[in-house]
Amino acid sequence: MTTPRGVAAIVVDGNSGRTLFGVNENQPRHPASVTKVMTLYLLFEQLEKGRLRLDSPLMISQHAAAQAPSKLGLEPGETIEVEHAIKAVVTKSANDIAVAIAENIGGDEDSFAQMMTSKAHALGMHGTHFANASGLPNSEQITTAHDLAVLGRAIQDRFPRYYRYFSTHSFAYRGAVMRNHNHLLGRVEGMDGIKTGYTAASGFNLLTSVRRDGRHIVAVVLGGATAGARDRYMANLIEDHIDDGAEIRTARAITEDQPAERVFAAESQPAPVSEREPDASAAAGEDEAEQPAPPARKRSAAAAAAAAEAVSEEKARPAFVSGGKKLAEAPEAEHARTGRKARAAERAGAAAIDGSTSQAAGKAAQRDSIATTTPSALKHLDAERTQLAKSDNARPAHTGWMIQLGATDELEKATELLSRARSSGHAVPPGAKAFTEKVQKGHETLYRARFAGLEEQSAESACKTLKRSGFSCFATKN
């Protein structure tokens, strides 16, 4: 079977963990609405821990309601029960509901995206960075076919009780019936989910899971030219490789404590890759309009370098950078209206386009509430903020190793990130010196949050501890 031009694909045996087929499986791609699998992963965690119930109400914010289609269309101030939210995300691929989930769990979408990225890295998805909860166009939203296969396996291992929602064929809500965009459900024997995705930049994506005669495979196709072409290729991959799978489960479950190992397919081979760009004829974020993708264009050297940087083994951008440059979204009528409303809201100070759900003062208060709130911690936080504000751009003259927590678009965020890391138990060695470093990335100014003055072993150890506490981190020589 010939792989279509520009497609990335992988087939993994869920029973043995062996990669049965792979092509371009480690190349950086945009996940589109397959992103929502990680959004639901974090929601399932909240259900498992008892922090939410299936009948818990989720509030719809102005920011959530303003998301581009596909969406459920709830108004700001309305609520939706968790179980209905899950079904709306699985079937309708509702962007407004995905953002509502993010805000109700993380406080704002940026913070939730950071949680998503941290979770991805903890599971072994080192080529993945999330910038939003929906998968709508954003140049920072990067993954690989390999990583999505890891996620497809992990969510089944971790949440068998809730994974069944991915096999929902249709969902009725307020008199409207929404059908699952995964048209292979019910057509391919044994398929039990899990998620489609499409934007002009990503092409047509699909993550699937099939159980048949004791065998279990997880397959991913990214970058299909049309939904039909993607579905046909996926169906062929399944039929070609399902019999190659093991009948007995020997693979360990993928967890944060036991992340996936990278295993390459013996028959993996390179294939031509094209970078899809937004096209005026395609609606951003709408999963399954059967339409041709825009013409493939060769990737520029700058784009290739940026993509390579974005997935370089957690060293690219291990924490979020809110407000990053987003891909141009398709100018269909409703989307354009949404953009105008968002810009107007930003000028009025009512909401920010980068994922905030309140005015600037409210967002600052929300950020402060995340940090440890004991009197001693607050005193330390104020002192460290003052110190870092004075020493911005002044890299410590220490030799040895340092650790980086991330790069943010505001000095205050970088300072807060360092303070939160310092107050998270004993992860950061007492002698480590916190500092921020201002860097220019094109037209974007970023502030790196770093600790210096460490030995290699202590830097690596600190990073491991920080990752277990939910931070992204990497160690590097000074």
Q: How does pLDDT run along the chain (478 residues), one tens digit per residue? A: 788 999 999 999 999 999 999 999 999 999 999 999 999 999 999 999 999 999 999 999 999 999 999 999 999 999 999 999 999 999 999 999 999 999 999 999 999 999 999 999 999 999 999 999 999 999 999 999 999 999 999 999 999 999 999 999 999 999 999 999 999 999 999 999 989 999 999 999 999 999 999 999 999 999 999 999 999 999 999 999 999 999 999 999 998 888 987 554 433 333 333 334 333 333 444 454 333 333 333 333 333 333 333 333 333 333 333 333 333 333 333 333 444 444 334 333 333 223 323 333 333 333 333 333 344 444 444 554 455 444 444 444 545 788 888 777 778 778 877 887 887 666 788 888 888 888 876 667 888 888 888 888 888 888 888 776 667 778 887 7
pLDDT at 354: 30
What distance in Å separates the CA atoms of residue 259 and residue 403, rounded to the nearest whole number?
21
Question: Before 16, cis peptide (omega within 30)?
Answer: no
Query: Torsion angle of alpha carbons 276, 87, 221, 146, nearest 10°?
Result: 100
Per CATH, 8-252 and 372-477 having the same topology is answered no
DSSP string, 363-409: HHHHHHHHS--SHHHHHHHHHHHHHHHHHTT------SEEEEEEEES
Q: What is the fold, at CATH topology level, of the domain defined by 8-252?
A: Beta-lactamase (3.40.710)
Q: By the 8 A CB rule, do 236 and 1 touch?
A: yes
pLDDT at 424: 65
User: Which residue, among 231, 90, 95, has the nearest Cα to 170 in the 3D structure?
Assistant: 90
Q: What type of residue is 286?
A: E
Query: The tokens of 222 are what?
Result: 């990214």
Instruction: Find where tokens 């995705």 sit.
Output: 197
Residue boundaries of the structural domains of the chain: 8-252, 372-477
pLDDT at 85: 98
| Phi, psi (degrees; rounded to nearest 5) at 434 | -80, 140
Half-sphere exposure of 102 (CA within 13 A, CB side): 36
The CATH architecture to which 372-477 belongs is 2-Layer Sandwich (3.30)
Compute the C-alpha angle 455/457/458, nearest 5°. 65
| pTM of the predicted protein model | 0.60
pLDDT at 429: 84
What distance in Å separates the CA atoms of residue 284 and residue 287, rounded to the nearest whole number?
9
pLDDT at 400: 79
What distance in Å separates the CA atoms of residue 400 and residue 415, rounded to the nearest whole number?
22
